[in-house]
Amino acid sequence: MDHVQRITESTQEIFSSMIMLEVTPGEPYKRNKSMLRGSISGIIGLTGSIKGLLAIHLPKQTALEVTTAFLGMDVTEIDEDVRDAIGELANMLGGSLKAALDPKGSGIQLSMPTAIYGDEYSIDCIATAEEITVPFELSGNTFLVELQIDPNG
C-alpha cells in the first residue's frame, strides 16, 4: 500500500465515521512548501523508524464547517475550539497512518498535535523530505493532507 492510498483511506474513514462528512480525494501532488493563505493547519510529528510530519491544511470556512460537525455546535470564528478540533483531527490522521506504516506499533512515535492559523504562512519540515499532498473536496472547498518523510531515516 502506498502513502497516497494510506492518506486517502485514512482521511475518508475519519471524516465519514468521526465527523459524519464525506470527502472526495483529488489528484496527489507536491506542494513544494508553497504559502498557505487564510488557513488553519493541524500538524503532528513522526519520530522513530520514520521521521517527518503529517499535516492537514484547511481554509478557514472549511475548518469552521468541520469543527461545527465534529463538535456538534455552531462555530463562526477560529478560536481555541477550532484549533483543538483541527489538532485532534491531525492526531487521528497521524494515528491511522502510524498503524498502517508500523503494524507492531513500536517503531514510530507521534508528537503532540499542533495547530497553526494565519493569513499567510508556510510549513517546512526537513529540506530533503519526500513530500506528497492529497487534496480533498468538501462542500465545494478543497483542503489538503500532506505527508513529509525524511528519506534518510
Domains of the chain with CATH codes: 3-26+36-149 (3.40.1550.10)
Q: What number of other Cβ atoms are within 10 A of residue 111's Cβ?
A: 15
To the nearest whole number, what is the mean pLDDT of the chain?
91
Tell me the three state secondary structure of residue 56. Answer: strand
What is the average pLDDT across 66-89?
A: 95
Tell me 7's DSSP state.
Answer: H
133 touches 145 (CB < 8 A): yes
pLDDT(68) > 90:
yes
Is the pLDDT confidence value at 153 over 70?
Answer: no
The percentage of the chain sitting over the pLDDT mark of 70, rounded to a whole number, equals 99
Q: What is the pTM of this model?
A: 0.93
- The grid coordinates listed for 61 are 470556512
Do the beta carbons of residue 137 and residue 12 sit within 8 Å? no
83-106 burial string, b = 16+ CB within 10 Å, else e? bbbbbbbbbbbbebbbeebbeeee
Q: Write down the pLDDT at residue 34.
A: 83
d(CA 33, CA 99): 26
Q: What DSSP character marks residue 18? A: I
